[in-house]
Amino acid sequence: MFEGQPKGLWALALANTGERFGYYTMLAVFLLFLQANFGFSVGVSGTIYSTFLGLVYFFPLFGGMLADKFGFGKMVTIGIAIMFLGYLLLSLPLGTDWVAVAGMGAALLLIGFGTGLFKGNLQVMVGNLYDDPKYSAKRDSGFSLFYMAINIGAMFAPSAAIGIMNWAQTSLGISEADSYHFAFAVACASLIVSIAIYYCFRYTFKDADRAKTAVTNSNEPAAEQLTPAQTKERIICLCLVYAVVIFFWMAFHQNGATLTQFAKDYTATSSTGIGSMMFDVVNLVFCIFIVYGLFGLFQSKSAKGKGISAAIILAAVAGLIWKYGSLAATTAVDAPIFQQFNPCFVVALTPVSVALFGALAQKGKEPSSPKKIGLGMLVAAIGFVIMIVGSIGLPAPAEQAALGDAAVRVSPNWLVSTYLVLTFAELLLSPIGISFVTKVAPPKYKGMMMGGWFVATAVGNFLVAIPTLMWGADLTIVWGVLVAICLVSALFIFSILKRLEKVA
């Protein structure tokens, strides 16, 4: 699984891991911060949240254009510096008046623009690593591994946010509303680690940091072979994929919106027994080690490799047994903690995904990238079907709030199961979609086309607010709308599948 990948992949992935850790530490508590600090309603908080997500994914369009002209590496460096200023401003406790609101708005703009310069251009550089014929067959698996690595940072983010907020409240006597700023400050530190990794290992990917290659390098075969008609067709096909991507991210990014609100208002606030173990990220890491150990056990070609894998499995199992023995009678379940499950599942399931599609590829039966995207939309629909079933019989939000301590609460397993299914959908769509863009995009428009992917994501993120504005309705209606959107998007991608496969 890890063999045959360019060395630069790991350096770029780790640089992104640091940045994503900070970003998701902030995002895990941002919706709740807006309500606790400013007293905003769910609808207003959801609108601000979705607008911020939209900016984060809209600015890469301009970041890509600038990179096509000035260089990808330069934009990545400038982007990290701008993001740092944004997180620094957000970490300052400015209060609750209009000055604080304005400061928050300025911080979100800085973070959004900085991410726009950093995120897309770093991923274009990953794609450039696979332009070498030696690595070209590894493009899809490479992006899956890249995606897995950056989710390691996201996996620890919710625990970090909750942990530092609890520390600020108990050790420093900080109020809950002010403790959120400590979580935002974590992002500043993570960016320092990110830029350090980027520059220390830059030598491994220096050839991927190229701009205008398709225009200035006469030896670039892709640029010479594409006619204007072919270029136009590729751009049209990418735009059709972007149309589907919009609705996937509208549904998927409910993880920080309506799904977080469901966790806060409708999910049990404590857990007992063995089920409590999943709320400790250390236990999840042990489980991931077991998954990777099993893969090593069956795929290793040497007795030494199998022995190491077996030792990893035994050590992880021993760790779980030890953790179970020291388990508290009751474990608190905080709403933000549910956001650790998606990145955890990404890290655990990526080798399963890579191995499955690798086996299918050897038999000549691997689905095309566009077909994987369509399947991802179908799987996403199933995720929200689970939420419909889990919400049957629950009171509407206003009625639930009126019940106070007598509010009806359901098992955390409904949300955990939904995140598991949505992760399967994400693995089918997100890394594969990014790989598709880097492969299909006309060489001289690579940066802009990657920016287009993020613009589609941005539009989807703007639409995240729609379900939050529907939050007063019956919950089955909210989830049902998301199911319908995913199904219609899947039908659309399958209806144009042959056209997309011609350019892939």
In terms of C-beta density within 10 A (0-12 exposed, 13-18 middle, 19 or more buried), how is residue 170 classed?
exposed
Same domain for 282 and 250: no
Same domain for 408 and 308: no
**Close Cβ partners of 321 (under 8 Å, ≥ 6 residues apart):** none
CA distance 23 to 497: 35
Distances (CA, A) of 482 to 68, 256, 347, 418: 36, 15, 25, 13
Same domain for 398 and 253: yes
Does a structural domain hold residue 218? no
CA distance 112 to 117: 9
CA distance 26 to 21: 9
Q: To the nearest 10°, report the CA torsion of 382, 388, 256, 494.
A: 30
Secondary structure in 3-state letters for 210-233? CCCHHHHCCCCHHHHHCCHHHHHH
Does a structural domain hold residue 249? yes
**Structure token pair of residue 178:** 């002010």
Using one digit for the tens of pLDDT, what is the confidence trace for 88-101?
998 888 888 888 89
Of the candidates 65, 161, 54, 156, the one whose C-alpha atom is nearest the C-alpha of residue 108 is: 54
Does a structural domain hold residue 221? no
In whole angstroms, what separates CA 120 from the centre of its chain?
13
- Asked whether the predicted pLDDT for residue 410 surpasses 80, the reply is yes
SS3 205: coil
pTM: 0.78
Confidence (pLDDT) at 480: 95
CA distance 423 to 349: 9
Task: Name the domain boundary from 308, 332, 356.
Answer: 332
Stronger pLDDT, 150 or 278, i.e. the higher one: 278
**Long-range contacts, stretch 205-210, CB < 8 angstroms, 24+ apart:** 205/6, 205/7, 205/8, 205/11, 205/12, 205/125, 205/129, 207/8, 207/128, 208/8, 208/12, 208/72, 208/125, 208/126, 208/128, 208/129, 209/71, 209/72, 209/73, 209/125, 209/128, 210/71, 210/72, 210/128
Does a structural domain hold residue 214? no
Confidence (pLDDT) at 221: 41
**What single-letter DSSP state applies at residue 332?**
E
Of the candidates 494, 463, 459, the one whose C-alpha atom is nearest the C-alpha of residue 481 is: 463
Same domain for 325 and 262: no
- Neighbouring C-beta atoms of residue 200, cutoff 10 Å: 12
Does a structural domain hold residue 220? no
CATH of residue 142's domain is 1.20.1250.20
Percent helix, strand, coil in the chain (nearest 5)? Answer: 80, 0, 15
- Neighbouring C-beta atoms of residue 142, cutoff 10 Å: 24
Amino acid at 142: G
Mean pLDDT of all residues in the chain? 87
Instruction: Tally the domains of the chain.
Output: 2
Using one digit for the tens of pLDDT, what is the confidence trace for 65-124?
888 788 888 899 999 999 999 999 988 888 888 888 999 999 999 999 999 899 878 888
For the segment 234-240, the average pLDDT, to the nearest whole number, is: 91
Does a structural domain hold residue 2? no
CB 227 within 8 A of CB 369: no
Residue 211 main-chain phi, psi, to 5 deg: -125, 150
Residue with the two structure tokens 């301009």:
62
Does a structural domain hold residue 14? yes
Using one digit for the tens of pLDDT, what is the confidence trace for 316-343?
999 999 999 999 889 989 888 898 899 8
CB 316 within 8 A of CB 308: no
Same domain for 445 and 324: no
**Structure token pair of residue 229:** 């008609």
In whole angstroms, what separates CA 271 from the centre of its chain?
27
Say how many Å lie between the first and final Cα of the chain, rounded. Answer: 23
- Asked whether the predicted pLDDT for residue 140 surpasses 80, the reply is no
β-bridge partners, 270: 332
**Structure token pair of residue 73:** 């590496």
Helix-helix angle 258-266:369-391, to 10 degrees: 30
Domain coverage including residue 296? 271-332
Same domain for 379 and 467: yes
Task: Name the domain boundary from 291, 309, 332.
Answer: 332
Same domain for 280 and 247: no
**What single-letter DSSP state applies at residue 410?**
B
Same domain for 346 and 205: yes
- Neighbouring C-beta atoms of residue 283, cutoff 10 Å: 18
Of the candidates 258, 251, 252, 275, the one whose C-alpha atom is nearest the C-alpha of residue 412 is: 275
Share of the chain above pLDDT 70, in %: 96
Using one digit for the tens of pLDDT, what is the confidence trace for 249-260?
999 989 878 998
CB 427 within 8 A of CB 346: yes
Confidence (pLDDT) at 217: 44
Same domain for 202 and 317: no
- Asked whether the predicted pLDDT for residue 211 surpasses 90, the reply is no
CB 377 within 8 A of CB 493: yes
- Asked whether the predicted pLDDT for residue 220 surpasses 70, the reply is no
Same domain for 155 and 83: yes
- Asked whether the predicted pLDDT for residue 219 surpasses 80, the reply is no
Using one digit for the tens of pLDDT, what is the confidence trace for 1-32?
556 788 888 889 888 888 888 888 888 888 88
Q: To the nearest 10°, report the CA torsion of 446, 447, 452, 455.
A: 160
Confidence band of 362 (pLDDT split at 50, 70, 90): confident
Same domain for 293 and 355: no
β-bridge partners, 331: 271
In terms of C-beta density within 10 A (0-12 exposed, 13-18 middle, 19 or more buried), how is residue 281 classed?
buried
Does a structural domain hold residue 240? yes
Same domain for 419 and 320: no
Task: Name the domain boundary from 288, 310, 332.
Answer: 332
